[in-house]
Amino acid sequence: MYPSRDGAGYDAAQGAKMLEAAASYDEVLRRFRWRIPQRYNIGVDACDRHAAARPDAPALICEDEDGTVRRYSFGDIRNLSNRLANALAARGLKRGDRVGVLLRQSPETAVSHIAAFKAGLISIPLFVLFGEEALEYRLANSGARAVITDAENLPKLLAIRERLPELTTLIAVGGGPSGTLDFAGTLERAADSFTPVDTAADDPALIIFTSGTTGPPKGALHAHRVLLGHLPGVEFPHDFFPQPGDLFWTPADWAWIGGLLDVLLPAWHHGVPVLAHRFRKFDPEASFDLMARHGVRNVFFPPTALKLIRQTGAPAGHKVRLRSIGSGGETLGEELLDWGRQVFGVTVNEFYGQTECNLVVGNCGACMPVRAGSMGRPIPGHEVAVIDEDGRVCAPGVNGQIAVRRPDPVMFLEYWRNPGATAEKFVGDWMVTGDLGRRDADGYLHYVGRADDVITSAGYRIGPAEIEDCLLRHPAVAMAAAIGVPDPVRTEAVKVFVVLKAGHQGGPGLAAALQSHVKTRLAAHEYPREVEFVESLPLTATGKIMRRELRAREAAKGRVLKEPAC
């Protein structure tokens, strides 16, 4: 079993690190053990215990779009979340009820989640760019009884409210029409003292919906222990986080697991302040100004953000002084790693996980060599392997499904109201990720591609990631995506969609050069037989390439593509 069920050797009130710093991966692994108490509440751990010990300690620095800076201590966050917890209880919400949080990075977002956790409610992070249909599906599926939002996003909720009979309470920052509660006014009328619900570490805490790559989105239900489960996966790629003077920021929205559980809540577990600012459209130069202005030391950059910074060029003489950079979601290539070292003076540590079981593989440049093209090694505490269809561990160098063995404290409890999909997620005690990979002789894991993204050509199984990485090393290429298209001889041929850097023009000559670039640098059977130049690529909100959308475009042209594997 993963936990120390009696909590022996671990006091959640001390905010202990899960990892001990060491000079080698093997030594970190040898020293590690899980310390999970039986009774545990995210809101108490990430907020109230700091407020009790150091009420004036900085928790959040929020820079608004107009440049206004607001600062909040842990005491402020405790009092505000207490008021919101009391207000939600007054509206009849009880333990186990679901609360949607439809807000950008902001103090209100953090307060809403902390209040829900302390009240024993289940929070549902919701992305502000979701349209009405996406919101309706998630709120109906979860049976949410309340949603906390702002005036900008309130109209989408008002448009669907009549179709959501379980939704009884709308609270909006900035207020709204009759029937909507004003966030500030509601908190002002509520008491600032609240006794948190006594929750078990295994009690439900939040639902995070998957991206829906294979059917409708599924709600991954996580327990309070998920925060403790994330700690090794944050401490490791951030070179034994925290260190004195650390300050965390990410451009990723807190509606996603990468923002909420990879940055905000782990930082607060350790009492480290977080900067809140999310650009409506990521601006590389403005991001440098922001980080320099506030002295950011730790950042989670999605790969797309790194590529955009590289494409535009880092500002000359920038004053950003980062201690650690973590990145995940798409494979990083050697060129991007080298560029990161030159620009930031640190190694970008790639990590891997998914909504259901996050941060289980990663790199730590402080204790092991970082290999370009590798996701790293299993984070201490997680048993990660490459398995075949029968659940047998594959030999080194053999492709198979990346899987994580249960029990694991970061692993989801179930898919909300979907026992069939939950059962299908497992082969024995292995939770299969749906990602293909391979393990090398030294234990490093290499991402091959999504099971439904793998291209089968002339008997070869080709992952798109390494083709895309190869293309990114060409001086004309800013971004690239590869898919398989029908081929009467090969079953499928590789087609790539390419976004060019400024100053380059697409055409037959450049297409031929890119084909040769891949053929000579990667493999003859993997070179793209078709090249299409595009102005942009379809991306998820977290910056992942939506290859299924590219396949849909080809299907719309009358091309019959293979059915994606589940």
CATH number for the domain including 183? 3.40.50.980
What does the mean pLDDT of the chain come to? 92
- Among 208, 232, 254, the domain boundary falls at 208
In this predicted structure, the answer to whether residue 457 has a pLDDT above a threshold of 90 is: no
Cβ neighbours, 10 Å, residue 41 = 26
Which range of residues forms the domain containing residue 524?
A: 455-556
> What per-residue confidence (pLDDT) applies to 305?
87
Share of the chain above pLDDT 90, in %: 78
Going by pLDDT thresholds of 50, 70 and 90, the confidence category of residue 312 is confident
pLDDT for residue 213: 47
Residue 355 lies in a domain: no
Task: Report, in angstroms and rounded to the nearest whole number, the Rg of the chain calculated over CA atoms.
Answer: 23
Residue 9 reports pLDDT greater than 50: no
Per-residue model confidence (pLDDT) at position 4: 46
Is residue 305 in some structural domain? no
The model carries a pTM of 0.86
What lies within 8 Å, CB to CB, of 158 at 6+ separation is 170, 176, 177, 180
- Mean pLDDT along residues 311-339: 89
State the Cα–Cα distance between residues 330 and 506, nearest whole angstrom: 25
Is residue 517 in a domain? yes
Note the pLDDT tens digit of each residue in 432-450. 999 999 999 999 999 988 7
Is residue 458 left, alpha or beta, with left meaning phi > 0 and alpha meaning psi from -120 to 50? left
Residue 76 domain flag: yes
- Per residue in 130-174, pLDDT tens? 888 889 999 999 999 999 999 999 999 999 999 999 999 999 999
Share of the chain above pLDDT 70, in %: 95
Residue 412 lies in a domain: no
230 assigned to some structural domain: no
527 assigned to some structural domain: yes
Q: Is residue 500 part of a domain?
A: yes
Q: What pLDDT is stored for residue 185 in this prediction?
A: 97
Position 442 scores a pLDDT of 96
Query: What's the CATH number where 465 sits?
Result: 3.30.300.30
Q: What is the pLDDT of residue 459?
A: 62
pLDDT digits (tens, 9 = 90+) for 94-136: 999 999 999 999 999 999 999 999 999 999 999 998 888 889 9
Number of domains in the chain: 2
Of 152, 179, 208, the domain-final residue: 208
DSSP for 319-382, please give it.
----SEEEEESSPPPHHHHHHHHHHHSS-EEEEEEETTEEEEEE--TTTSPPPTT--BEEPTT-
Last residue of a domain, one of 174, 208, 242: 208
- Where does the pLDDT of residue 7 fall: very low under 50, low under 70, confident under 90, or very high at 90 and above? very low
Q: What are 337-351's pLDDT values in tens digits?
A: 999 999 999 999 999
Task: Give the per-residue pLDDT at 563.
Answer: 43
DSSP string, 90-145: HTT--TT-EEEEE--SSHHHHHHHHHHHHTT-EEEEE-TT--HHHHHHHHHHHT-S
